[in-house]
Chains A and B, each alone.
Chain A
Amino acid sequence: MTTISDFKGTVKPDWCPGCGNFAQLTAISGALAELGIEPKDTTVVSGIGCSSNLPEYIRAYGFHGIHGRLLPVATAIKWVNPKLTVIGYGGDGDGFNEGTQHFFHAARRNTDITYIVSDNQIFGLTTGQASPTSEMGMKTKTTPDGNLETPLDPMTFALTAGATFVARAFSGDVKQLQTLIKKGIQHKGFSFVDVFSPCVTFNKTNTYDFFRKRVYKLDETNHDPKDFYKAYEKAREWGDKIPTGVLYEVEASRYEERDEVLKTPLIDHPVAKITPEILNEFV
């Protein structure tokens, strides 16, 4: 048995008061505790950005790597030691700019890791530049005349890439957030949770109020998360009403089940012997 306090780190988060990341730290810790997972068996891998500092603040194994590259690291860790619960955690700038390529391919592989994105639709750590999810027309330090690009939609992107668990959450609702993260961890395969995480300092558009007025819960509707096309429709819903919850979830084989060598965890493989038969190939 574990409790949420088992995951409490010794370093105090340096996020701005009111930052959406706090709710996620609580929800991740809470979900792990609820599932009875031990800190020693948890590895949190992050990239670069405000949210990516999280591995420092949680009591677990932490890997705070470089910008955009958390998914390859997380995937490989899981392949080596599948007993670990591996959580990838980063921001929208990290994951949907430099990390886009890895996001797409990690989803295709369906490795059993959980990818949580703190999506604040802005670059926070570098003090307020347009991110790939910033709304069209949004004025930032790098877009003084307004953002000229349509925002990337993480939901349809993940669905197209073949993610087998696609969910959307909101930092303003920790209870639902924790439930969704828990479901994501329980899901056998690549699970993706995009979290609306208001940046109280640099994003004056997508605020807590903005989302509170718009979000509604899919599990309170007759949404069928097994229906890919319905999930796609829900993913495109944006405006006065924005759905949260599990958009899509299916079971599918994982990369680690498909690969012959990975069927035994890599960490359990003995050192290979170079036999005379192998050497004989070179005669």
Chain B
Amino acid sequence: MNKSEIIVRIAGAAGDGVQSAGLIMAKVFSRNGLHTSTYNYYQSIIRGGQSWYQIRASSEKVKNQGDGLDVLVTLNKDGLERHTNPEINEGGASSLNGIAIYDKSLTGFKEFKDRVKYCPVPLSEIGQKYSKNPLLKNTVALGAVCGYISADFEVLADIIRDQFGGKGEIAEQNVKAAKEGYEYFVNTYGKADKKLQYSKKRKYLLAGGDAAGLGAVRGGLKAFFGYPMTPASSFLHFLAQHSKSLDVFVKVTEDEISAINMAIGANYAGVRAMTGTSGGGFALMTEAVGMSGMMEVPLVVYEAQRAGPSTGLPTKTEQGDLLQVLGASQGDFPKVILAPRNVEEAYYMMSEALNIAEIYQLPVLYLTDLYLAEHYETVDNLDTSFQINTGKIAKDGMENYRRYEFTSDGISFRALPGQPGLMHNEDSDEHDEKGDVVSDAVTDPYLRKLAMEKRMKKIDEYIKSIPPTPTYMIKDAESVVIQWGSTQGAVEEAVDILRGKGMKVGIIEITHLYPMNSDILQLVKGKKHVIFVENNYTGQLRRLIMSEFGITGDLIVKYDGESFYPGKLSEEIEAIIRR
């Protein structure tokens, strides 16, 4: 183990319980006060295949799953070979340089003794002492890891009890199995020399999907309409499971088109509602995104990107939907695209998204991706207070009410059905201030022009509220990297590596994708290199920034379905700078 950190990987087949074991391991760290970041490598199958779960923890802030691998827990032989062989690297993941914990019965595998200390443990044998459930071997393995890293056993025992619902028989079987695994490992192989800096300050541990769901409730969400699609489902599941405790109505509909139309209907009727999907479902929703724009009904869409095109790689990450979201629906209308960079931001930005949609009465597209939606990160604090701003809502009986009044900022008063004296029509056809159609009997070019300008003015107004573009180490930077979304952690760490080598590199981090703050014109001024880093093939953000501001630069892309790893990325950035 180097530095103050540790990287643990749990590998097995789908159905082996890799994910739940991984999450328990992550909680061991977060409850011991360590910064933790996870990564879930899996496929779109329910049983078989090869999946793994990586957990990185440190007393310093960890921003991604990290390079290196210190402890491997493997539940099958395939995993043992795959993660110890330096010639195999899954999308850039490191092979083991540390200890391997696996069931004693595994034999006949290729060994790499220069890098790996093999630590067989009778995982199944111990597990079977307590229960016939074969998954108990996972718990034994978790105990073994905790023994190795000298983690307080009671922390693990508490997590197990929480997981299995209190002090029942199953929980106690698991606790005992873990304890025996813990002791077996310590007695047989001893503890790691290097000690992690544990503390009593337990941290929050949540996935981007959870954080966005919680942020939505904080932002006043009352109804969610969706249709299952990986990786947007974690958001849907969070809300469905908390429907009663967080008082949110959740409806899975017949299709994505219904979901978005219901969300628009609910917003129109006066509650904060949203929908969520991945790229394929969003493609089906696009017509209604334009309806929200035209009828000026507030709407938030959660779009969690996965590797496309078409069905693509359902369980793999990518940033390939930016241009789809940007171009969603026919015609010109105001829309806002936001992209959180990490779990904490996923929480705060979602509350903001709901305010923006209602203040400016337009669609807000919240663009995240599989990596951010599904990976867990620790967060020190979650501020639950939030000022909900519903924008302009008409008072009952308001005189001379016009739903689409041509105001100086383009924002007009909404009236909700049921309000006395404010009856009007809201129309997807072009309409005048009252909402009456100007497209059918007599098309009125003059009114059309004014109506178009009324809607587009709202974007000019919104732009004033966009915060300054976030940056990292930019002050003395000679070269600058531009990133967006979930690549933040890997890019920042790559820059840390380069800074360690004395290279003056900084980062511009785009959170407000559209409209974008023009301050990036100043931020790139005088930089020797401008390097875009994107999890897609064509450099979609580079295209957008080129078209908005005429800024371009070198491009580093990754489109193998995996997120960036900092070490490899730093080499790619360095190669461009030294070119």
Tell me whether B398 is interfacial, beta carbon within 8 Å: no
- Interface members, chain B 259-306 (any A CB < 8 Å): 259, 261-266, 268-271, 273, 287-288, 291, 295
Contact A76 B265, beta carbon cutoff 8 Å: yes
Quick check: is A150 within 8 A (CB to CB) of the other chain? no
Q: How far is the CB of A82 from chain B (nearest CB, A)?
A: 10
In contact, B420 and A279 (Cβ under 8 angstroms): no
Residue B423 is within 8 A (CB to CB) of chain A in the complex:
yes
Chain A 90-103 near chain B by CB (<8 Å), digits 1 or 0: 00000000000110
Q: How large is the interface on B (under 10, 10 to 19, 20 to 34, 35 or more residues)?
A: 35 or more
**Closest partner residue, chain A, to B415 (CB atom):** A61
Is there a chain B Cβ closer than 8 Å to A243's Cβ?
Answer: no
Q: A41-B418, A81-B269 are in contact. Are A72 and B262 (CB under 8 A)?
A: yes
Instruction: Tell whether B30 is near chain A: CB-to-CB under 8 Å.
Output: yes
Check if B424 sits within 8 Å of A62, measured CB to CB: yes
Counting CB contacts under 8 A, is B575 at the interface?
Answer: no
Query: Which of A52-60, A196-204, A218-226 interfaces with chain B?
Result: A52-60
Which residues from 62 to 93 on chain A have a C-beta closer than 8 Å to any C-beta of chain B? Answer: 62-66, 69, 71-77, 79-81, 83-84
**B428-A65 in contact (CB<8A):** yes
Determine if B440 and A14 form an interchain contact, defined as CB atoms under 8 angstroms apart: yes
A261 interface contact, C-beta 8 A: yes
Contact A101 to B291, CB < 8 A, known contacts A77-B268, A261-B248, A274-B217: no
A39 within 8 A of B: yes
Interface presence of B218 (CB below 8 A): yes
- Cβ of B437 < 8 Å from any Cβ of A? yes
Contact of B436 (CB < 8 Å), options: A11, A43, A79, A274 = A11
Shortest distance from the beta carbon of B174 to any chain A beta carbon, whole Å = 19
Task: Flag whether A40 is at the interface (Cβ < 8 A).
Answer: yes
Q: How near does chain B come to A23, taking the closest CB pair, in angstroms?
A: 20
Query: A residues within 8 A CB of B419?
Result: 40
User: Contact string, B448-485, partner A, CB cutoff 8 A, digits 1/0?
Assistant: 00000000000000000000000000000000000000
Which residues does chain A contribute within 8 Å of B223, judged by CB atoms? 76, 79-80, 266
In the bound complex, what is the Cα–Cα distance between A272 and B250 (angstroms)? 14
**Residues 244-256 of chain B, each 1 if its beta carbon lies under 8 Å from chain A, else 0:** 1111111001110
Which stretch (B175-183, B198-206, B563-571) binds chain A? B198-206
Instruction: Please tell me if the beta carbons of B388 and A271 are within 8 angstroms of each other in the complex.
Output: yes
Chain A residue contacts of B273, Cβ below 8 A:
76, 80
Q: Is the CB of A77 within 8 A of B255?
A: no
Instruction: Assess A261 versus B384: contact at CB under 8 Å? Given A14-B440, A80-B271.
Output: no
In the complex, are the beta carbons of A40 and B247 less than 8 A apart? no
Contacts of A39 in B (CB 8 A): 423
Q: Contact between B425 and A74 (Cβ–Cβ < 8 Å)?
A: no
Contact B266 A80 (CB under 8 A): yes
| Nearest CB on B from A224, distance (A) | 32
* B interface, CB within 8 angstroms of A: 30-31, 202-206, 210, 214, 217-218, 220, 222-223, 225, 242-250, 253-255, 257-259, 261-266, 268-271, 273, 287-288, 291, 295, 382, 384, 388, 416-429, 435-437, 440-441
| Residues of A that sit less than 8 Å from B by CB | 10-11, 14, 39-41, 43, 45, 48, 53, 55-56, 59-66, 69, 71-77, 79-81, 83-84, 101-102, 104-105, 259-262, 266-267, 269-274, 278-279, 282-283
Across the A-B interface, the 5 shortest Cβ-Cβ residue pairs? A76-B265, A62-B425, A73-B265, A80-B269, A72-B261
Q: A72-B259, A279-B384, A282-B205 are in contact. List 10 more A-B contacts (CB 8 A).
A: A53-B440, A55-B427, A73-B262, A74-B265, A80-B266, A102-B257, A105-B254, A262-B249, A274-B384, A283-B30
